[in-house]
Structure 1
Amino acid sequence: MQSQNPIIADFVKLANSAAGTFAGMSREARDGAREKMREAMGGLDFVSREEFDAVKDMAALAREKVDVLEARLAALEAKSK
């Protein structure tokens, strides 16, 4: 059974309008925050995971080569003494 009281009906309309307004404000705030974050992060230099892994593999290979060369140099120095 619905109330026919116009004051209650007006209050319900006002509450529904306020809820819609707050939901819209929330969406706008969230979207604005995302855009600000994109702008802030856009100036930074980030690398992709693939690029990072490729450089990591290159560094590991270089380290292995250095270890081999250090061993060869130590062997040569030991022979020359």
Structure 2
Amino acid sequence: MAEEIKLFPNLKSIMLMGDVAKKSVNIISKKTNKKNIIPSISTYKLRHGEIYYNEIRLFPAYIMTGKNILIENQKWK
């Protein structure tokens, strides 16, 4: 993923859809910063904060499929 990010010099934001995307960003950040960028808390709790990887804004989200749709009834309705 780090090589893919370099292909887009004007990239301003990334939507991280699901746990695999969040984990891959944390793996990249551990190589450079020695710590996770995205805290290991529930995704919905990260929604109102601002998370950056260098100057790229990260938007952690979860995929609304299967049983995940039952997590937030407001979105389901």
If the TM-score is normalised by the length of the shorter chain, which range does it land in?
under 0.3
Which structure: greater strand fraction?
2
Higher RCO structure, 1 or 2 (CA under 8 Å, sep 6+): 2
TM-score scaled to structure 2, two decimals? 0.22
Which structure: greater helix fraction?
1
Indicate the structure (1 or 2) with the bigger Cα radius of gyration.
1
TM-score scaled to structure 1, two decimals? 0.21
